[in-house]
Chain A
């Protein structure tokens, strides 16, 4: 079945450690996104990529990094520079051209807890 797979679903990290969240899609979508969700805050955009080997910062990119070496994959690294990384992270993708503001397809999310 086509869809978006995020892993791991749950992750615990010690302060000072970098962690990488995986996001893979087999929908043949060009655009991929990372959002962060905190209670009562809705979804806030971290990074997005509209094409392979290109990505842009979102509203809260500080302390995060991404890569887009393959169309299917858009991993997110939460670095030690991110001061408050405990959150629920959602990956999404979208088909159509780069300016298409249609439906986003979401993964099941990764919940990161910093101990």
Chain B
């Protein structure tokens, strides 16, 4: 059965800390891995990683795909209270249009 596992499930840090969120997957016909941020309601897209694009960076956020280890990390440096959210990892498979989501990591950044 295809699955996506995120760790940790929750994390509390202080402003300025650097955090690393993990996502591992076991899927057939892997095609892409996506990261989303969910603050209140609608998840918002952060990154998509594929075999042709295994590293992405935007400001304080960066993500790397390790196809050998079947995993990805999302790094957030110099965290701010606005980074508090649930971070969702999802995997897409070839020939299938839907994504498989992990359970998410709830990040709380304290002032």
Q: Which residues of A contact B (CB under 8 A)?
A: 31, 33, 35, 40-45, 48, 50, 58, 90, 94, 98-109
User: B96 to A43, Cβ gap below 8 A?
Assistant: no
- CB < 8 Å neighbour of B9 from A40, A45, A48, A50: A40
- CB < 8 Å neighbour of A109 from B31, B41, B101: B41
With A100-B97, A101-B31, A106-B42 known, 15 other A-B pairs at CB within 8 A are: A41-B103, A42-B104, A43-B43, A43-B88, A44-B101, A45-B98, A94-B97, A101-B93, A102-B48, A102-B92, A103-B34, A104-B45, A105-B45, A106-B43, A108-B42
**Interface members, chain B 37-70 (any A CB < 8 Å):** 41-45, 48
- CB < 8 Å neighbour of A90 from B42, B93, B98: B42
**Interface members, chain B 1-60 (any A CB < 8 Å):** 6, 9, 31-32, 34, 41-45, 48
- How big is the B interface, by class? 20 to 34
In the complex the two chains form, what is the Cα distance from A105 to B42 in whole Å?
9
Q: Which residues of B contact A (CB under 8 A)?
A: 6, 9, 31-32, 34, 41-45, 48, 88, 90, 92-104
CB-defined contacts of B96 to chain A, threshold 8 Å: 99, 101
CB-defined contacts of B92 to chain A, threshold 8 Å: 101-102
User: B45 to A103, Cβ gap below 8 A?
Assistant: yes
In the complex the two chains form, what is the Cα distance from A109 to B99 in whole Å?
18
A42-B97 contact, Cβ under 8 Å, with A101-B92, A103-B48: no
A48-B101 contact, Cβ under 8 Å, with A101-B31, A106-B43: no
CB-defined contacts of B94 to chain A, threshold 8 Å: 99, 101
CB-defined contacts of B100 to chain A, threshold 8 Å: 45
CB-defined contacts of A48 to chain B, threshold 8 Å: 97-98
CB distance from A93 to the nearest CB of B (A): 11
Question: A91's closest neighbor in chain B, by CB?
Answer: B42
